[in-house]
Amino acid sequence: MPSLTRDEAVARADLLSVTRMDVALDLDRGPQTFHSLTRIHLTATGDGDTFVDVKPRELHRASLDGVDLDVGLLAEGRLPLAVTAGEHVVEVEATMAYSHDGEGLHRATDPADGEDYVFSHLFLDAAPAVFACIDQPDVKAPYAVSVKAPADWHVIGNGSGEIGDGGVWQLAETKPLSTYFVALCAGPYVSVTDEHDGIALGMWARRSLADQLQEHAPEMLEVTRRSFDYFHSIFGIRYPFDDYDQVFVPEFNAGAMENPGCVVIRDSYLFRGAVGRDELLTRANTISHEMAHMWFGDLVSPQWWDDLWLNESFAEYMAHRCLVEATEYTEAWVDSTMSRKSWGYGAERAPSTHPVAGSPAPDAKSALANFDGISYAKGAAVIRQLIEFIGDEAFLEGIRQYLGDHSFGNGTLADFLGAMERSSGTQLSEWSRGWLLTAGVDTIAVDRAGSVTREAPADHPADRPHAFDIATYTEGAQTSRQALTLDADSAPLTGLDLDAALVLPNAGDLTWATPLLDEASLAALPTELPLITDAQARAVVWVGLRDAVALARVDPRLLVDLGEAALPTETNDSIFSRAGMHLTGRVVRVLLPEDEQDAARARLTRVGEQVLASAEPGSSMALHAARLVARTTDDVEGRLVPWSQGRDLPSGLDGDADFRWILLGQLTRRGVIGAAEIDEALARDQTMSGQLGALTARAAIPTEQAKADAWADLTTNRERSNYELIAIAAGFWGPQDLTLVEPYVARYFGDVPPMTAWLGEDALSRVASMAYPSRFVSAETLELSRAALAGDLQQGVRRSIVDQQSELEEALASRRAFPQAG
């Protein structure tokens, strides 16, 4: 099916404007399909040929101003339309199919009670699978939506809803929206409601999660209220839409989606067991991020997909700023360093790196490929650099100008920069060229002879001015600190203690760069890092080393040494949990040679045990330590078996089903338990989370038959949801004896790409990434991967394989640079 090109979008927008959308949906027609009736009220500037977007199971009829159109002309989601100058009404009636891949109108069954739940996710071009439309971001219109639903269902949408005659819900007409923001959630959802500053607030979840919703709603509503107050104070424009509902839905592909007035959030955020502070922070960040989108993305939308950064970079930045300045999560920038910036740096290292803004997006699908850590994390870092460049007061004034000038319309990079130039009196074309329009991450290093240098990647030369700081430490104490702006390839340093044990560039993490530590600083880290009290500096060390190891500049064994030395005294949840996950999931599992992995894993187990013994029982840190032990220990009889049976559990983990599935997965991959024990555990946890845990555990069973069954389930079962497929992939490659899954390395490249025949691009790209045989670090795997990329692949799968192959190449380079001793 063709993806809308930018040229087509420009031509269609020149010809047509949509003045109103009437959408009537009937969801009471069974679990497979629903009925869709759309009236598109449009105005044509002249005579011309164009098309309406619609992707039906069956197209029943279509008309233009009451005259039937030939529905047989529908081809690849496009219905031809010939218009004359003036106003018209297009009416389209169709039967649509529910999806199970998280796109369009997704329908899921809750195994806890057998109830069905529906939610829409229309980004990037899935709207035509729900209703006929002119599907492009710069064609906005008010929406009047009605929905017929089963009698016990509740319907939530962009506008507040009321149920009328015949069980039909009428949703209030919206402000002008881009098609991809139209939202609909329906099912026996339960709610917690509130009101703040004249705005009705609602939080919704599946009926089986009513207890979790009640437990977590007070904290989430407090973040919601504080975010509203903060954004009202800095944007100068009140929340511009209807009620504010946040709906926690099952099997959602992303973290959340910023539909105006109806934010959709993955319901795994309604934690059902023990939860760490960093996880609560992540959820709070998501809530604030999606609210920031009400202004950046919803009130002012990108004119075309190459300006997605105007949505995501700003929501990313504003959410962290809001958490720090308006909530209890004042450590949000530390969490950003550990979780978000590390994601973005990984995207920069990949061959698919791209500029923050202005990336070529000749069609919608190509833009989707750039929806990554660069658009989010790097974009947020660039905004921090912009503020250093023009000042915060000018930045906020520019924001208010931009939002005010383009309310309920669309904006571009030029519009945004124009507002910033007017507010600051500063010309930004050169700054923009280096930071927004050129890809790549610079390295920053300090020469102890007295200079600091920057170096842009050879493939992406750029002149980026960096505003940052350098700090020095001896015995954990800061001995000097200097803020500077580096706008040349090198500059002299004065006033810094360059004889200190550790010299740390970008210690405050103000800029986007890889800090390269000198040999003396690297040697001092095992002693210095545990003593540094500045959590932000510690996070910079961990993420900088993550980048340096990936670039084969630093031996991965140093990270294991640091884990053993520094994590036992770490006090920040985000640093402990993220560093621990990186060590176990990447450094030990992939970068170290196979015969060193068990010993390194045992060292991390001792770290977990040490922290578990010393942390306050039931604390967030104790929880993360217990999870680290569960992921790494070989103590089957002393830890895995009794904990899985609910015996001798750390405080706070009694009855934690999710923790139990971690343990059962570890026992399964070792062959200690099998299908019977998994079925028994699932019988006690008949929930969506339990179902996913069981799929992962079953895929980990280390027998030839179990692997064959899991692979067939993964690659041929068209009834599996996106979440179920990822769960299977998560357990498949885990056996201690890798020869058991070695035959599937080649099969991955032959069996996964064809899944595009039934799985949406976004969902399949996630499955392709999770299923990639990353544990097989060999030239043979690389050869198979390169051969696959030489063929014809769907764009999303290609991007996933390109990025995973890049990580494979990093692992091979690391092993060559730092071979096993002896």
- Give tens-digit pLDDT for 667-712: 999 999 999 999 999 999 999 999 999 999 999 999 999 999 999 9
- Has residue 18 been placed in a domain? yes
Q: What is the Cα–Cα distance from 47 to 44, expressed in whole angstroms?
A: 7
Total of domains in the chain: 2
Please state, rounded to an integer, the average pLDDT across all residues of the chain: 96
DSSP string, 186-224: EES-EEEEEEETTEEEEEEE-GGGHHHHHHHHHHHHHHH
Same domain, 172 and 202: no
Q: Quick check: 68 pLDDT over 70?
A: yes
Same domain, 261 and 408: yes
Q: What is the Cα–Cα distance from 738 to 597, expressed in whole angstroms?
A: 13
Which residue, 407, 435, 463, sits at the end of a domain? 435
Q: Quick check: 161 pLDDT over 90?
A: yes
Confidence at residue 54, expressed as pLDDT on a 0 to 100 scale: 98
For the stretch 713-755, pLDDT in tens is 999 999 998 899 999 999 999 998 999 999 999 999 999 999 9
- Has residue 519 been placed in a domain? no
Confidence at residue 165, expressed as pLDDT on a 0 to 100 scale: 83
Query: Alpha carbon of 202 to those of 69, 265, 292, 347: distances in Å?
Result: 42, 13, 17, 36
Residues 6+ apart with CB under 8 A from 687: 110, 111, 112, 208, 272, 657
Q: What is the Cα–Cα distance from 322 to 78, expressed in whole angstroms?
A: 43
Average pLDDT (185-213) is 98
Q: What is the Cα–Cα distance from 105 to 33, expressed in whole angstroms?
A: 10
Closest CA to 250 of 182, 189, 314: 189
Q: What is the Cα–Cα distance from 360 to 357, expressed in whole angstroms?
A: 9
Confidence at residue 164, expressed as pLDDT on a 0 to 100 scale: 87
Total residues belonging to the chain: 822
Q: Looking at residue 72, what DSSP letter applies?
A: G
For the stretch 382-398, pLDDT in tens is 999 999 999 999 999 99
Helix (H, G, I), strand (E, B) or coil at 5: strand
Same domain, 284 and 312: yes
Average pLDDT (408-434) is 96
- Has residue 512 been placed in a domain? no
> How many CB atoms are located within 10 Å of the residue 56 CB?
23
Same domain, 144 and 199: no
CA quadruple 560, 562, 565, 568: dihedral sign: negative
**Burial code of 545-564, b = ≥16 C-beta within 10 A, e = fewer?**
bbbbbbbbbbbbbbbbebbb
Closest CA to 14 of 75, 83, 79, 73: 83
Helices in 141-189 by DSSP H: which ranges?
A: none
Same domain, 91 and 220: no
pLDDT interval class at 2 (50, 70, 90): confident
| φ, ψ dihedrals at 78, nearest 5° | -125, 125
- Using an 8 Å Cβ cutoff, are 259 and 246 in contact? no
Q: Which of 290, 331, 724, 807 is catalytic?
A: 290
Which residue, 390, 406, 435, sits at the end of a domain? 435
Query: Alpha carbon of 197 to those of 232, 291, 296, 368: distances in Å?
Result: 10, 15, 21, 36
Identify the weakest region by mean pLDDT among 78-82, 347-351, 629-633, 773-777: 347-351
For the stretch 114-124, pLDDT in tens is 999 999 999 98
Percent helix, strand, coil in the chain (nearest 5)? 50, 20, 30
Tokens 């989370």 belong to which residue? Answer: 689
pTM, whole model, 2 decimals? 0.96
Share of the chain above pLDDT 70, in %: 100
Longest Cα pair distance anywhere in the chain, in angstroms? Answer: 83
Query: Alpha carbon of 115 to those of 107, 110, 686, 711: distances in Å?
Result: 10, 5, 13, 29
Confidence at residue 1, expressed as pLDDT on a 0 to 100 scale: 66
Query: Alpha carbon of 192 to those of 108, 187, 221: distances in Å?
Result: 22, 15, 9
Confidence at residue 822, expressed as pLDDT on a 0 to 100 scale: 58
Query: Alpha carbon of 6 to those of 122, 303, 306, 363, 415: distances in Å?
Result: 19, 10, 10, 6, 19
Closest CA to 416 of 433, 442, 398, 394: 398
Question: What are 195's two structure tokens?
Answer: 């009101």
- Has residue 795 been placed in a domain? no
- Has residue 216 been placed in a domain? yes
Q: Quick check: 25 pLDDT over 80?
A: yes
Q: What is the Cα–Cα distance from 472 to 707, expressed in whole angstroms?
A: 52
Same domain, 257 and 121: no
Query: Does residue 290 carry a catalytic annotation?
Result: yes
Average pLDDT (105-109) is 96
Q: How far apart are the first and last CA of the chain?
A: 55
Q: Quick check: 582 pLDDT over 90?
A: yes
Closest CA to 336 of 369, 368, 293, 379: 379
DSSP string, 242-277: S-EEEEEETT-SSSEE--TTEEEEEGGGS--S---H
Burial bucket for residue 636 (CB in 10 Å: 0-12, 13-18, 19+): middle
Same domain, 276 and 198: yes
Cα 671 from chain centroid (whole Å): 33
Same domain, 172 and 200: no
Q: Which amino acid is at 817?
A: A
Question: What are 669's two structure tokens?
Answer: 């991959």
Count CA within 13 A, CB hemisphere, residue 302: 23
Average pLDDT (2-27) is 96
The domain in which residue 178 lies consists of 1-185
CATH number of 32's domain: 2.60.40.1730
Residues 6+ apart with CB under 8 A from 192: 202, 203, 213, 214, 217, 221
- Has residue 42 been placed in a domain? yes
Share of the chain above pLDDT 90, in %: 93
Q: What is the Cα–Cα distance from 174 to 351, expressed in whole angstroms?
A: 42
- Has residue 814 been placed in a domain? no
Same domain, 131 and 37: yes
Same domain, 137 and 113: yes
CATH number of 233's domain: 1.10.390.10
Which residue, 391, 416, 435, sits at the end of a domain? 435
Q: What is the Cα–Cα distance from 631 to 601, expressed in whole angstroms?
A: 9
Same domain, 289 and 255: yes
- Has residue 208 been placed in a domain? yes
Same domain, 95 and 224: no
Q: What is the Cα–Cα distance from 54 to 61, expressed in whole angstroms?
A: 12
